[in-house]
Structure 1
Amino acid sequence: MLSPLTNPKACLVLAHGAGACCDSPYMIALAEALARHNIEVLRFNFRYMQQSIALGRKRPPEKMALLQQEFLKQISMVNYQLPLFIGGKSMGGRVASMLDLADEPQVRAVFAFGYPFHPPGKSQWRTAHFSSLAMPLHILQGERDPFGKRAELTDLSWPKVNVHWLTAADHDFKPTKASGLKQQDVICAAAAYCNKVIDEILLANQ
C-alpha cells in the first residue's frame, strides 16, 4: 500500500509487526509522520496476515525464511528511481534486518521500529546476525520496551547497529503519563530521526 507524495526524496518499504496489519493505527500514524518529511512509504501485509484478515481470525507468523522471501518480493516490486530504504515494526524490522540484500544493492539502510531483542522476560536474544550485517541497521527503541529496555542494552554494541532511544516509550511507542508526551509525539520523534539519517545518507552519496 503506497502513500504517494508529490515530491518524495526517498522510499521506505515498511513491514508490520507480528500481531497487527499494515493498516493498524500505529502503522498509519508512522507512515503519515514519515510522509511529512517527504519520505514515501510502501506498506504491505505478509501472506499470513492477509489470510488472517480474510478468515477473520488471528494466525501466527510463518517461518522466517518465508517472511524474508515475501519481503524481498516487495522490494523487487519497487520500480522507480527513488533512494530505497527498508524497515518494519517489531517483527517486520527483524525480518528486514535479516534479509540477504546481495541482489538488492539499491537498499541504503534498514530501520527497525521497536526491535524485538528478546521475548519479554526471557533471555533468548535475537541478535546473532548483528555482527555480520551488510548495511547499517537503525533501531528506534522505546526506553521501556519489554522486548529490549535501555538498561539491558547499555553495555552492548555492534559495528553496524545504531540504537536511538525514545523517551519513556514502550514497544508501541506509548509513553508514560508522567512524561507529558503522547504516542503521536513519540512516533513523530521517530520519524524525525529517520529523516535525519536518510538526509545524512543522501548527502554522503551526492
Structure 2
Amino acid sequence: MSKAREAGIDGDQYVREQSPEGWLWGRPRGEPRATLILAHGAGAPMDSEFMQHMAQNLVACGVALLRFEFAYMAARRQDGKKRPPNPQAQLLEQWREVYHQVRQQVAGPLAIGGKSMGGRMASLLADELNVDALVCLGYPFYAVGKPEKPRVAHLAELKTPTLIIQGERDALGNRQTVQGYALSGAIKLHWLTAGDHDLKPLKSSGFTHSQHLLSAAEAIAAFIGREQDAA
C-alpha cells in the first residue's frame, strides 16, 4: 500500500493511503474517533477539490476517511470520457460491496455518507446496512428547478442517526423548502449561512468557503463522536 502526504496537512497529523482497491484512505495519527466512508457526487471524482478539502478537515478532526469511486467515474478516470452515473441499482450494489469490505477492515464506529448523489445513495442503504451513522453533504432533496418533486419518502422513515449539512441557498434543497418536509426524527439538519450546493457562501455573508468546509467537518466529527458515546 503506497503512502503520500496530503497537501496542506502536516504529515504528523494525516497519512494518505491508496489501497489496492483504488480507494483513498485518510488516517489521523493515533486512534481515530470513527471511520467514515464518503462517496462523491454525480459529476466530480473522489479527489475533487471539495472532497480533498473535506478529507483534510475530517482527518484533522480525528475521523478516518475512506473515499471510493463508482464504476462510471472510475472508467472516466481511465479514458477521460464523461459518463452519466450508473443505474441506481448498480450504485447501491457497489455501496454495499465497499461497506462490507471496509467493515471487515476496521474496528469501532463506521459511518457512511457522501456529497450530493453519493449521500443520497448512502441514505437508501443506511438502515439496511445497520450503519452507526449517516452523513450527507449537500443532499439533493429535488432536481434543480423541481422542488415540487421531492426525493424524501424514505427520509420520513429513516432510523439511522443522520446528519445532513446543507447550504441555505442550495439549488437542490434550500432552507425554506426543506423545512416544509416531514423528515424522520433521526435526522439532524445543520444549515450553513448563504451556502450553495457545494457549501460555498455568498461573499456578503461574511463567511468563506474554507470556514464553511471546516465547520462541516467539525459538525460531522462531533456528531459521529456523540453516536459513539451513546452506543
Question: Contact between 2:39 and 2:113, CA under 8 Å: does it hold in 1?
Answer: yes
Q: Pick the aligned partner of 1:47 from 55, 71, 74.
A: 71
Q: What corresponds to 2:164 in structure 1?
A: 139
Deviation of the 1:76 alpha carbon = 1.2
Match of 1:127 in 2: 152
| One-letter amino acid matched to 1:109 | A
- Rounded Cα–Cα distance in structure 1 between residues aligned with 2:126 and 2:208: 36
Which structure is richer in relative contact order (CA contacts within 8 A, separation 6 or more)?
A: 1
Specify the alignment match of 2:87 in structure 1: 63
Residue aligning to 1:96: 122
Q: Hey, what's the Cα distance between the residues in 1 that align with 2:126 and 2:207?
A: 38
Q: Distance in 2 between matches of 1:157 and 1:141?
A: 16
Alignment of structure 1 residues 102-121 onto 2, 5 Å: 102=128, 104-105=129-130, 107-121=131-145
Matches of 1:198 and 1:90, distance apart in 2: 19
Q: Structure 1: how far apart are the matches of 2:151 and 2:219?
A: 24
Root-mean-square deviation over aligned CA pairs: 1.3
TM-score (norm 2): 0.84
- Could you list the structure 1 runs, at least 4 aligned residues long, displaced by more than 3 angstroms after superposition: none
SS of residue matched to 2:66: strand
Pick from 174, 178, 188 the counterpart of residue 153 of structure 1: 178
TM-score (norm 1): 0.94
1:188 aligns with 2:221: no
2:145 partner SS: coil
The one-letter amino acid of 1:67's match is L
Secondary structure of the corresponding residue to residue 87 of structure 1: strand
Corresponding position of 1:34? 58
Residues paired across the two proteins, number: 203
- Return the letter of the residue paired with 1:135: T
State how far apart, in whole Å, the 1-side matches of 2:38 and 2:139 are. Answer: 14
Give, in whole Å, the separation in 2 of the partners of 1:73 and 1:90.
Answer: 20
Identity percentage over the alignment?
40
- Determine if contact 2:127/2:158 at 8 Å carries over to the other structure: no
Comparing 14-23 with 30-39, greater Cα deviation is found at 30-39
Contact preservation (8 Å) 2:33, 2:225: no
Separation in 1 of the partners of 2:126 and 2:133?
Answer: 13
Structure 1 residue runs without a partner (length 5+): none
2:49 and 2:230 map into 1 onto residues whose CA distance is 34
Query: Amino acid of the residue matched to residue 133 of structure 1?
Result: L
- Report how far residue 101 of structure 1 moved: 4.5
Select which of 92, 96, 99 maps to 1:75. Answer: 99
